[in-house]
Structure 1
Amino acid sequence: MKPAAFDYARPRSLSEALELLARPNVDARVIAGGQSLVAMMNLRVASPGLLVDIARLPDLGSATEEDSTVFYGACVTHAMIEDRIGPDPSNGLMPKVAETLAYRAVRNRGTIGGSLALADPAAEWPCVLAALDATAIIEGWNGKKAVACRDFVTGIYETRLAAGEILTAIWVPKLSPEARWGYVKLARKSGEFALSLVVAVRDPARGYARVVLGATDGPPLILEATSRLCGRGRAEPAAAREAVAADLARAADRQFDAFRHSLHATAALRALTQATEAAA
């Protein structure tokens, strides 16, 4: 199939992009890499009347480093993260995630901001950024605001982005050298979306630990009991299984069948082990 007819604009500034999005009686959508949106348009799942291309806006395609944080422009591509073009605040976690995302042709064009803004429930970045305690920077005519990535996704393809707003950057705090992480993606084959996805981060220098479950038919789930256990360091297998089981029981509203429940439990236990195996 081919998409319905649409108009296309490439603004030269963020203010011009916001003006285009504010046009009355026009269903305008932001596009950067277009690896998901164009496919949805071809299937007529999405039919915007205007595409506003922000891929070449200044500052959105680079990463900048400060003392304790790295700011990723929303148009930084997966390939740039995979190839470590720019600073890495995650001690290797983000490059590892990027190399497992789809295929190289997709990674060359797809962007971290686009993935987060689309909020596909099986996508990697919403889960990873929530685990890293990252913050989304949103700009609109009413100014700039910051939203924690753990709260940014509100449902399947639903986010805290309001009409006329653009996700412009993602702020990621740096992990300390002592930090450890675990990443488990279970899929039928390499490059596919995950059937289960778990990210565990433990940073004892900051007193921080978080375990996040993705591919849950909704927003990423923070596994609270498992996160507390992760923060304590290496856990006994029985305690780990108990914590994961308690967290999945609290997510009963997601209605996982037995197969998905087993996948999520297995992925969570593996990621927890990876994040704590070097703990004293």
Structure 2
Amino acid sequence: MKPAPFAYARPADWPAALALLGSGARPVAGGQSIGPMLNLRMAQPGLVADLRHLPEFGGIAVQGGTCRIGAGTTHAAIEDGAVPGRLGAILAGVARRIAYRPVRNRGTIGGSLAHADPAADWVAVLPAFPGHAVALGPAGERRIPLAGFVTGIFETALRPEEVLRAIELPLLPPETRWGHWKFCRKPGEFSKATACLLAIPGQAPRAVLAALDGPPLPIPDATALLAAPEAEADRLLATLPGLEPWRAALARTALRRAAGMAAAGMPTA
């Protein structure tokens, strides 16, 4: 099947992009999600706005203790070390397990997050970080805590007139511990259960359980999960009624393994 007819626009700057979005255009960056949806006619926009060439849409900028990742930065760039330090090592470990390299060459961190597929890797991981999604709208930039950015299946806190411009994350000390585990039936497939745990020295550890056909479940204080993974995993799953037994078993395993990796001080997983 081929897409329904649509018009194509390539805005030269952000005001032009916002004007197009305000008129109902569908934004596109890497096209790894919208492309198949167009081909299957699950999406039939009248106008597509290509954001790839906008200033500072891709790339990394570090100022003070904050790393700003342009929403158009590809998974491959993150995998190849574009983000510095301990933060970069953690994100590279996530990026290299996204789909396949051809997908990572085109797909973007912002496109993945804004698309809000519940099984997507950045949707499952970024809520664990004490950072922000930077939305751009007619009134300027607005910062949204990552833990509350994805609000449902394919739903985010972005307003209709806004576009995701960047992700801002704190640089992490070398002693930061990290655990990340996801289950895929075969390499490159979307996860059936994902969990991660981030332990920054001097802060309460943070965790996320995701890829369960709903928005990610941020755990702002995962101290109990680190201390008693089995019991805390059972308690957390009790707050998610309706999971099929096989899905609950995978989620329990994901939580236990992510906690075990972080407790052991594993750099990436």
**Alpha-carbon distance in 1 for matches of 2:161, 2:210:** 28
**Alpha-carbon distance in 1 for matches of 2:87, 2:17:** 31
SS in 1 for 2:37: helix
Matches within 5 A, 1:78-97: 78-88=75-85, 90=87, 92-97=89-94
Q: Is the Cα–Cα contact under 8 Å of residues 178 and 265 in structure 2 kept in the other structure? A: no
| Shift in CA distance, 88/6, structure 1 to aligned 2, threshold 3 Å | farther
> What is the identity, as a one-letter code, of the residue corresponding to 1:12?
A
Match of 1:203 in 2: 200
| Shift in CA distance, 91/209, structure 1 to aligned 2, threshold 3 Å | farther
Deviates more, 1:208-217 or 1:108-117: 208-217
> What is the identity, as a one-letter code, of the residue corresponding to 1:58?
P
SS in 2 for 1:90: helix
Task: State the 1:242 CA deviation.
Answer: 0.8
Residues 1:217 and 2:180 aligned together: no
| Shift in CA distance, 30/123, structure 1 to aligned 2, threshold 3 Å | same
How many residue pairs were aligned?
266
Residues 1:4 and 2:1 aligned together: no
**Alpha-carbon distance in 1 for matches of 2:160, 2:5:** 21
**Alpha-carbon distance in 1 for matches of 2:169, 2:220:** 21
**Alpha-carbon distance in 2 for matches of 1:15, 1:278:** 45
Task: State the 1:224 CA deviation.
Answer: 5.5
**Alpha-carbon distance in 1 for matches of 2:113, 2:85:** 18
Task: State the 1:46 CA deviation.
Answer: 1.0
Residues 1:121 and 2:118 aligned together: yes
Residues 1:277 and 2:249 aligned together: no
**Alpha-carbon distance in 2 for matches of 1:34, 1:22:** 20
Match of 2:246 in 1: 259
Question: Unpaired runs of 5+ in structure 1?
Answer: none
**Alpha-carbon distance in 1 for matches of 2:61, 2:86:** 11
| Shift in CA distance, 224/169, structure 1 to aligned 2, threshold 3 Å | closer
> Which residue of 22, 42, 67 corresponds with 2:64?
67
> What is the identity, as a one-letter code, of the residue corresponding to 2:205?
A
| Shift in CA distance, 10/89, structure 1 to aligned 2, threshold 3 Å | farther
Deviates more, 1:262-271 or 1:38-47: 38-47
**Alpha-carbon distance in 1 for matches of 2:164, 2:62:** 19
**Alpha-carbon distance in 1 for matches of 2:41, 2:243:** 29
| Shift in CA distance, 19/103, structure 1 to aligned 2, threshold 3 Å | same
Match of 1:241 in 2: 230
SS in 2 for 1:133: coil
**Alpha-carbon distance in 2 for matches of 1:89, 1:58:** 27
Query: What RMSD, in angstroms, separates the aligned Cα atoms of the two structures?
Result: 1.5
SS in 2 for 1:261: helix
Task: State the 1:185 CA deviation.
Answer: 1.2
Residues 1:21 and 2:21 aligned together: yes
Task: State the 1:86 CA deviation.
Answer: 4.0
Identical-residue share of aligned pairs (%):
44
Match of 2:223 in 1: 228
Match of 1:185 in 2: 182
SS in 2 for 1:265: helix
Task: State the 1:143 CA deviation.
Answer: 2.2
> Which residue of 147, 159, 162 corresponds with 1:162?
159
Residues 1:133 and 2:120 aligned together: no
Question: Unpaired runs of 5+ in structure 2?
Answer: none
> Which residue of 44, 48, 57 corresponds with 2:54?
57
Deviation per residue, 1:88-115 (Å, 9 max, x gap): 5525111011000011000000000000
Q: When the two structures are superposed, what TM-score results if normalisation uses the length of structure 2?
A: 0.95
Deviation per residue, 1:205-241 (Å, 9 max, x gap): 3x1311101102111112467x1225xx6x3xxx321
Q: When the two structures are superposed, what TM-score results if normalisation uses the length of structure 1?
A: 0.91
Residues 1:108 and 2:108 aligned together: no
Q: Is the Cα–Cα contact under 8 Å of residues 209 and 255 in structure 2 kept in the other structure? A: yes
**Alpha-carbon distance in 1 for matches of 2:139, 2:42:** 30
